Structure 1
């Protein structure tokens, strides 16, 4: 599956389960590990779990099983690695503490293309 289709699949899955403050980061010019990072918030550890389960289910149904899943089971940060797309699901306080959007935006890049593409706020 093409990375653009995969990022759309992930965003749609997150919106289905009411993820909060979805942010899409184009990190292709900053790292060779992945092309897109998606960061979203949940309202509770159960909500984070529901969000990750929905993304994993939709990705598997599309023929893209996750390469890794970390932090399930009551965690405040869940990571879903889908190869070209890495998803970070966090409680708002954890997200504020680690501030991944700023961290990735502040990294030096060889390319001056846009590092962050905002989505509508939820």
Structure 2
């Protein structure tokens, strides 16, 4: 779960909102986990994308596939076992990705707030 913590921390550090992690092992053949989060506007989503990719590179991970950076209203970052969806609020509401994997299990992740206090994030 350390990978999920690092991804969530990178999103949180760029002020990403409504972070949710869903365990879809046994439900999806595409990946093991989905992480879904919001940025306020396209530029914010792009900054969160950069933060996640930088954090994962420090952990020795490079994305297999990235889609949507040019428009940045919905960016998908595929690390194989984890797929990250970063969306502006309007896109998140329109597509309601959480509903696609409603049979998945919400995963608790640890996020450090102000470099002092661990916080658990579970869902929106």
Q: TM-score, normalised by structure 1?
A: 0.84
| Contact persistence 2:24–2:101 (CA under 8 A) | yes
Aligned residue runs from structure 1 range 38-117, under 5 A? 38-105=35-102, 115-117=105-107
1:110 maps to none
- Unaligned runs of at least 5 residues, structure 1: 107-113
1:21 maps to 18
Deviation of residue 115 (structure 1)?
2.0
Ranges of 4+ aligned residues in structure 1 off by more than 4 Å: none
Judging by fraction of residues, say which structure has more strand. Answer: 2
Q: TM-score, normalised by structure 2?
A: 0.83
- Unaligned runs of at least 5 residues, structure 2: 109-120
Relative to 1, partners in 2 of residues 1:73 and 1:10: Cα closer, same or farther, differing over 3 Å? same
Relative to 1, partners in 2 of residues 1:121 and 1:85: Cα closer, same or farther, differing over 3 Å? closer
CA RMSD of aligned residues (A): 1.7
Aligned length: 112
